A and B are shown apart, each in its own frame.
Chain A
């Protein structure tokens, strides 16, 4: 009796769990419109400033026969939620945000406080906090509508750019929605968003620049700066670097496959903090303009580190001059100093004086398949 009762009870709890599975909340899958991406534009209308476009995938019974159908809906509104509510009245299905992966905000909206633009996405519970956010160079709507040449049937192309499972490029700066929020509202670190451009002629997306969103100002990064930022921030470990001769001619290229980066803020001098970077790269030669010699590998490494050092220092002082802090030095300062006064204010006055030192070592271990 007792044993049987326990078994029944076990089943009971199993059923309890089933009753709470979310399922479709009483709505079938063919009555739902799954939103893949949302684009927010400036409508140019002062009364209804937002123009929201959504990309909806229509569920179909047989993908092989019917293919995947997308539909686009856009509407103007005072707020994003109003625009979406208006869109809701134009679709014969229920809008479902639970599969939304990409949020694109137009660059012209940056004049407004971007925190207000993204507030809706943070607040709504069914938009994943692990969706990606990006900036559109011109119109966000066009990016959604573009179908690149390399598009495969089911996925959104931008999804593959940002999730590291497909594309791994040092130029792309993926930014999760929650990561954006915490970097934006916390002091001591500034978020960096990727700028998405479209190449209409070639039908492709170009994502190789980034935008630092500082305190009330925006600093655009060149592709090279974006790459160095991504390396320093630890977003990417594997990348290529080109070494040129003095006259600008290509000399050789290295491929770095493992990276380790540390930095420390040295406060021995209370007026001028020193930020010590320690960078270790390991890689191989990838391309060269002439024959290479394996006994000179150390020389190549030294040369590469010298050039890398110069580029990194340039970027760090550039950030400092612009008074933006995308690498989170202020946060590190707060994290290493006991909170006795307003440590962030201290840092704000210290940062313009800070000095950077770099200890960089590129270890090239092979010349590749040939010498």
Chain B
């Protein structure tokens, strides 16, 4: 069962490599992106230990359970409310930025609302599944997409157009002191494990023990993602003007050719793979929100009817906000917003670790 924790990490990692996070890192390349990438395992390691250690001590339970046990009701509600808003926005940013990408590259003539509605339909079915089914879904989808991902990465790195001099030029800018934004954005890639706040209730004691080796693999995977998503666009599109490209990873995949492949333009393979990973990312995030909402709403009276009208109301809100925002927001605002959001995350998650420490002490 340990592998399911890795899947959670991998889903976030894959989403990161096409999200605004890596775009921001590329924009900040002269403000210490590279150094913050190199330093990020430090924070990542601290974060992973903080979270996984805590959840290992409460096998089969999730965070809402734990909070309800030790905290007064109003405090629990506030904390869970903040968490669910954060997770909702994480999913929303994934959804909107990916709808934009699809509209730009794949179906420019389809209205954005239509793409959003298709996505939302499937996600609505998805997030109402049981937690265990979600984990299975992740496994199946990752098994399908992983070979293609490896192919894409190899294709990019072995391309004769991959100019090593640009990469070296980027390395030569390692002496810039990292700005906070750069650190925050490189920290984002490690956050996959945070979904354990709900998913932990599927893991029993015997099947979820992280040893130092597992931590090392997780950190190295994330670090690899950071390097790949930083260096592949630079190697293929140049270093100095990489910030003039709104979708670096997608544009980079358009520079690859498979002259003898079934599809010559690698872009379409990259898009298909990223549809899957985005779908998973939204699924995981919003499932957490729905589960927390369920825990909050479920009183003794309506515990026997799993889908009640309040839950419908929440999902309805998801729809309305997504459809509203997809019309009013533009690309620049989205990047600014996700930058703000990512900047907030380190504070949020390290506060959570403090909360966990407190909970641990209470439990003793």
Find residues 156-179 in chain A having any chain B CB closer than 8 Å to their own CB: 163, 165, 176, 178-179
- Residue-by-residue, is A1-19 near B (CB-CB < 8 Å gives 1, otherwise 0)? 0000110011011001101
Q: Pick the contact of B125 from A6, A12, A178 — CB < 8 Å?
A: A12
Given A129-B251, A130-B265, verify A17-B109 contact (CB < 8 Å).
no
Q: Pick the contact of B136 from A6, A182, A340 — CB < 8 Å?
A: A6
Determine if A49 is an interface residue (Cβ-Cβ < 8 Å). Answer: no
What's the Cα separation between A21 and B102 when bound, in Å? 11
Find residues 9-42 in chain A having any chain B CB closer than 8 Å to their own CB: 9-10, 12-13, 16-17, 19-20, 22, 25-26
Given A17-B272, A20-B275, A340-B175, verify A130-B238 contact (CB < 8 Å).
no
Contact A17 B275 (CB under 8 A): yes
Determine if B106 is an interface residue (Cβ-Cβ < 8 Å). Answer: yes
Among A67-75, A239-247, A306-314, A327-335, the stretch that binds chain B is A327-335
Which residue among B133, B171, B173, B254 has the maximum number of chain A CB atoms within 10 Å of its CB?
Answer: B254
Q: Pick the contact of B169 from A13, A22, A163, A335 — CB < 8 Å?
A: A335
Given A10-B140, A176-B161, A187-B240, verify A125-B122 contact (CB < 8 Å).
no
Q: Pick the contact of A22 from B104, B107, B122 — CB < 8 Å?
A: B107
Contact B105 A125 (CB under 8 A): yes
Question: Measured between C-beta atoms, what is the minimum distance from B281 to chain A in Å?
Answer: 14
- Residue-by-residue, is B104-115 near A (CB-CB < 8 Å gives 1, otherwise 0)? 111111100000
Find residues 113-165 in chain B having any chain A CB closer than 8 Å to their own CB: 118, 122, 125, 129, 133, 136-137, 140-141, 161, 163-165
What number of B residues sit within 8 Å (CB to CB) of A?
A: 50
Which single residue of chain B is at the shortest CB-CB distance from A334? B169
Determine if A126 is an interface residue (Cβ-Cβ < 8 Å). Answer: yes
Question: Measured between C-beta atoms, what is the minimum distance from B185 to chain A in Å?
Answer: 21
Q: Pick the contact of B255 from A5, A20, A176 — CB < 8 Å?
A: A176
Contact B106 A22 (CB under 8 A): yes
Determine if B294 is an interface residue (Cβ-Cβ < 8 Å). Answer: no
Which single residue of chain A is at the shortest CB-CB distance from B239? A186
Q: Pick the contact of A339 from B163, B172, B251, B276 — CB < 8 Å?
A: B172
Question: Measured between C-beta atoms, what is the minimum distance from A124 to chain B in Å?
Answer: 10
Determine if B222 is an interface residue (Cβ-Cβ < 8 Å). Answer: no
Determine if B77 is an interface residue (Cβ-Cβ < 8 Å). Answer: no
Contact B172 A130 (CB under 8 A): no
What's the Cα separation between A268 and B107 when bound, in Å? 55
Contact A13 B137 (CB under 8 A): yes
- Which residues of chain B have C-beta atoms less than 8 A from A336's C-beta? 168, 172
- Which residues of chain A have C-beta atoms less than 8 A from B105's C-beta? 125
Contact B140 A335 (CB under 8 A): no
- Which residues of chain A have C-beta atoms less than 8 A from B241's C-beta? 182, 185-186
Contact B237 A178 (CB under 8 A): yes
- Which residues of chain B have C-beta atoms less than 8 A from A5's C-beta? 133
- Which residues of chain A have C-beta atoms less than 8 A from B238's C-beta? 181-183, 185-186
Given A185-B241, A335-B169, A338-B172, verify A26-B109 contact (CB < 8 Å).
yes
**What are some 21 contacts across the A-B interface (CB < 8 A)?**
A9-B129, A9-B136, A16-B279, A20-B106, A22-B107, A22-B268, A125-B104, A126-B108, A128-B254, A129-B255, A130-B254, A176-B161, A181-B238, A182-B166, A185-B241, A186-B240, A331-B165, A332-B165, A335-B167, A336-B172, A337-B172
Task: List residues of chain A with CB under 8 Å of any chain B CB.
Answer: 5-6, 9-10, 12-13, 16-17, 19-20, 22, 25-26, 125-126, 128-130, 163, 165, 176, 178-179, 181-183, 185-187, 328, 331-332, 334-340, 343
4 additional contacts (CB under 8 A) given A20-B107, A22-B268 = A16-B275, A125-B108, A178-B237, A331-B166
Give 5 closest A-B pairs by Cβ, nearest first.
A335-B168, A182-B238, A335-B169, A186-B238, A335-B165
